[in-house]
Chain A
Amino acid sequence: MIRIYRQLLVAQVQAAAQYRIQAVLWMLFSIIRPVIFLAAWTAVATAQGGSVGGYSASDFAAYYIALTIVGHLTTAWNSFEFEFEIRQGRLSPKLLRPLHPLHYSVVENLVWKVTTFLPLMLVCFVIALTFQVTWNVEWWHLALFVPSIILAAALSFMIGWVVATATFWLQRINTVNTLLQRTSFIFAGQIAPISLMPTALQVISYSLPFAYILAVPAEILRGGVTLERGLLYLVGQAVWLGLSLITFRLAWRAGLREFSAVGA
Chain B
Amino acid sequence: MDAPVVDVRALRKVYRVTERETGLAATFRSLVRRRYRDVLAVDGITFKIDPGEVVGFLGPNGAGKTTTLKMLSGLLYPTGGEATVLGHVPWRRDGSFLRGMTLLMGNRSQLVWDIPAADSFLVLKEIYAVPESQYRRTHDELVELLELQPLLHKPVRGLSLGERMKVEFAAGLLHSPRVAFLDEPTLGLDVSMQGRIRRFVGDYNRRSGATILLTSHYMDDVVALCRRVIVIHHGVLLYDGALADLAERMAPYKRIGVTLRGAPRDLSAFGEVVSSDENRATIHVPRAQAAERTARLVRELGDQIADISVEDPPIEEVIDRVFASERPLAEVTV
Number of interface residues of B (CB under 8 A): 31
Tell me if B's interface is mostly helix, strand, loop or mixed. Answer: mixed
In the complex, whether B73 has a CB less than 8 A from a CB of chain A is yes
Query: In whole angstroms, how far apart are the Cα atoms of A259 and B15 in the complex?
Result: 10
Residue-wise interface mask of A (88-116) relative to B, using a CB-CB cutoff of 8 A (1 in contact, 0 not): 01101101111100000000000000000
* A98 contacts B126, C-beta separation under 8 Å: no
In the complex, whether B99 has a CB less than 8 A from a CB of chain A is yes
* A93 contacts B109, C-beta separation under 8 Å: yes
Number of interface residues of A (CB under 8 A): 26
Query: In whole angstroms, how far apart are the Cα atoms of A152 and B313 in the complex?
Result: 68
On chain B, the residues within 8 Å of A97 by CB distance are 98, 124, 127-128
Minimum CB distance partner of A16 in chain B: B114
Query: In whole angstroms, how far apart are the Cα atoms of A95 and B91 in the complex?
Result: 11
Which chain A residues (3-55) contact chain B, with CB distance < 8 Å? Answer: 3-4, 6-8, 10-11, 14-15, 18-19
In the complex, whether B103 has a CB less than 8 A from a CB of chain A is yes
On chain A, the residues within 8 Å of B155 by CB distance are 18
* B119 contacts A4, C-beta separation under 8 Å: no
On chain B, the residues within 8 Å of A19 by CB distance are 114
* B93 contacts A11, C-beta separation under 8 Å: no
On chain A, the residues within 8 Å of B114 by CB distance are 14-15, 18-19
In the complex, whether A137 has a CB less than 8 A from a CB of chain B is no
On chain A, the residues within 8 Å of B126 by CB distance are 3-4, 6-8
* A11 contacts B123, C-beta separation under 8 Å: yes
Minimum CB distance partner of B41 in chain A: A260
Q: Separation in Å of the B78 CB from the closest CB of chain A?
A: 10
Q: Do A261 and B76 contact each other (CB < 8 Å), given the known contacts A96-B102, A97-B127?
A: yes
Query: In whole angstroms, how far apart are the Cα atoms of A99 and B175 in the complex?
Result: 14
Q: Looking at the complex, which one of B15, B99, B108, B119 makes contact with A93 (CB distance below 8 Å)?
A: B108
On chain A, the residues within 8 Å of B98 by CB distance are 96-98
* A95 contacts B75, C-beta separation under 8 Å: yes
* B75 contacts A92, C-beta separation under 8 Å: yes
In the complex, whether A256 has a CB less than 8 A from a CB of chain B is yes
* A96 contacts B73, C-beta separation under 8 Å: yes
Q: Do A89 and B123 contact each other (CB < 8 Å), given the known contacts A96-B98, A98-B99, A261-B75?
A: no
On chain B, the residues within 8 Å of A257 by CB distance are 77
Q: Looking at the complex, which one of A10, A92, A99, A264 makes contact with B127 (CB distance below 8 Å)?
A: A99
* B120 contacts A264, C-beta separation under 8 Å: no
Query: In whole angstroms, how far apart are the Cα atoms of A92 and B183 in the complex?
Result: 13
On chain B, the residues within 8 Å of A11 by CB distance are 112, 115, 119-120, 122-123
Q: Separation in Å of the A235 CB from the closest CB of chain B?
A: 35
Q: Looking at the complex, which one of B76, B99, B102 makes contact with A259 (CB distance below 8 Å)?
A: B76
Q: Separation in Å of the B304 CB from the closest CB of chain A?
A: 58
* A15 contacts B115, C-beta separation under 8 Å: yes
* B112 contacts A15, C-beta separation under 8 Å: yes
On chain B, the residues within 8 Å of A264 by CB distance are 70, 75, 105, 108
Which chain B residues (118-144) contact chain A, with CB distance < 8 Å? Answer: 119-120, 122-128
